[in-house]
Chain A
Amino acid sequence: MSEYILLLIGTVLVNNFVLVQFLGLCPFMGVSNKLETAIGMSAATTFVLTLSSVASYVVYTFLLLPLGLTYLKTISFILVIAFMVQFTEMMVRKTSPLLYRVLGIFLPLITTNCAVLGVALLNISRQNTLMESFLYGFGAAAGFSLVLILFAAMRERINLADVPKPFQGAAIGLISAGIMSLAFMGFSGLVAG
């Protein structure tokens, strides 16, 4: 049990996907201008990332490995992720139109989030089990959501500030993200590995 908790803390804080491993930076910079869109994006990403992490593990272990097709893992993971995203979109649309409206455009955008493919590939290289894959995917998504939501709230404030002209917009966003990444280095050593 405690190893699972450590794995979660490790993926959410110590090896945060955005601020420490620098994956998923495009949605991090792209949809962090408003808090509400950031929350929508976080919810959609958490759902898809957790599912696709488990699904890609299942495909790898029960399909690619027995057939000796492991060299196809990247392309099959992309397929799994695209399928997962499409499936989620259809499911959500039919079962909960309200949630569909909330998530809206963000669902298809997740296909291009490199953190999703990153988690699927890292699961294999870390030799995670099924349960660990689930927690690793969920932890990655929780860490992504945490920093995305915090960053969105901060950017709403920065957008009102009197930033010098050359630094407005993405430039000051990247500088603040750099300082946040610096702050996250404080977590190093909390969990080994």
Chain B
Amino acid sequence: MLSKTSPHITGSNSVGKVMVTLLLTMIPGFACLVYFFSWGYLVNLILASATALAVEAAILKTRKRPVLFFLKDSSALVTAALLACALPPLAPWWLTVTGAAIAVIFGKQLFGGLGQNPFNPAMVAYALLLVSLPVFMTTRWANVDQPSSLLESLQIIFNLSASGIDGITGATPLDSYKQNIARLTSADLLVAPLFNGQWPIGWAQVNIAFLIGGLVMLWRRIITWHIPVSLLATLAVMALLFSHDADAKVPVLIHLLSGSTMLAAFFIATDPVSAATSNKGKLYYGAGIGLLIYLIRTWGNYPDATAFAVLLMNFAAPLIDHYTRPRVYGHTNAVKGYKSDD
């Protein structure tokens, strides 16, 4: 007789499987990014993945940890994929490589590796690059009207072209609306091809594709509904409250369907390591991100605020967890906050 200790019923979800499913659900959104904007996203993905794996392997080897065991969980690939979605597609190759290395070293491995990093590694790298290299991070975007082919992307990324392109600026719906609403009315703005009513071409498709990927993750029970729902609901409520006058502020549909909203709501904010853990905590955490995204987008300097919003709430997540400990079955409510009589 073979005897085994409990648990006898085990789920089929290992860390590696969860990460691979997450990567698979990112495919539709990523394909839309490549199709509507640039093949540069794919080049970035390859560069970032190779760097992330190499750096992770090097650190694990230095620390004398089992290299293959940790590489197989694919978490470095997830970080690389999120970073590739966030970085400008035509960024020079060294920017992507630096970003992936920063993400793995400062975002993850210095804190002890997977499961112990308090911040989302990809967002740490993105914010650091955005603050340190604003020129490269804002002038290497692709336009929807002229998506760049694989060859063009490679030429620009590796700086091979004879023409020597210095920069391509693509107006984003969020930024363009904010800049132009002071002198134009909402009706005038929205007929422009960039907005296409309130369904900006390219941006809307990418966001809907990420939404579908997110719903698949919900269905596969990789994430719970709390963070995406509270994030999107808070963002929508804030936009309805403050942007009811479309001639003054960006309307709600553009907030939801442009920029990186859906990517952030389903793929970045739901990172189980750096997010809050209890269900109630997740609701607060998601709501905080939604609120901060609206605040920074509307009154701050950065037109798409998701990286900063996610980092700020990562910062707050341990405290949220501290105050939202679930009640233990059979006990009264957990003691909250400071008690001086102990």
Contacts and interface: CB of A to CB of B under 8 A. Distances in A.
Contacts of B309: 186
Nearest to A35: B322
Given A154-B118, A182-B311, A172 B296 contact: no
A185 B295 CA distance: 13
Given A39-B338, A190-B300, A183 B312 contact: yes
Interface string B289-320: 00010011001111001011101101110110
B63 interface: yes
Given A156-B318, A179-B311, A162 B296 contact: no
Contact of B312 (A102, A176, A184, A190): A184
A151 B312 CA distance: 11
B164 to A, nearest CB: 32
Contact of B118 (A39, A158, A190): A158
Nearest to A149: B319
Interface residues of B, number: 37
A164 B112 CA distance: 6
Nearest to B309: A186
A163 B322 CA distance: 22
Nearest to B111: A161
Contacts of B299: 189-190
B106 interface: yes
Contacts of B124: 179, 182
Contacts of B311: 179-180, 182-183, 186
Contact of B128 (A98, A154, A182): A182
B68 interface: no
A183 B318 contact: no
Interface in B104-129: 106, 109-113, 116, 118-119, 124, 127-128
B162 interface: no
Contacts of A149: 319
B131 interface: yes
A162 B116 CA distance: 7
Contact of B338 (A36, A158, A184): A36
A98, A101, A175, A188: residue with the most chain B Cβ atoms closer than 10 Å: A188
Bin chain A's interface residue count: 20 to 34
Given A39-B338, A101-B340, A162-B113, A180 B127 contact: no
A177 B225 CA distance: 31
B112 A161 contact: yes
Contacts of A176: 111, 118-119
B315 A185 contact: no
Interface string A32-57: 00011001100000000000000000
B110 A163 contact: yes
Nearest to B298: A190
B229 to A, nearest CB: 23
Contact of A182 (B131, B305, B338): B131
A158 B111 contact: yes
A112 B240 CA distance: 47
Contacts of A158: 111, 116, 118
Nearest to A36: B338
Contact of B111 (A98, A172, A183): A172
B320 to A, nearest CB: 8
B301 A188 contact: yes
Nearest to A99: B340
Interface in B61-94: 63
Contacts of A151: 315
Interface string A90-131: 000000001001100000000000000000000000000000
A150 interface: yes
A22 interface: no
Nearest to A40: B338
A187 interface: yes
Interface of A: 35-36, 39-40, 98, 101-102, 149-151, 153-154, 156-158, 161-164, 167, 172, 175-176, 179-180, 182-190
* A-B CB proximity, top 9 nearest: A186-B308, A189-B301, A162-B112, A183-B311, A161-B116, A153-B319, A153-B318, A161-B112, A154-B318
Interface of B: 63, 106, 109-113, 116, 118-119, 124, 127-128, 131, 292, 295-296, 299-302, 305, 307-309, 311-312, 314-316, 318-319, 321-322, 337-338, 340
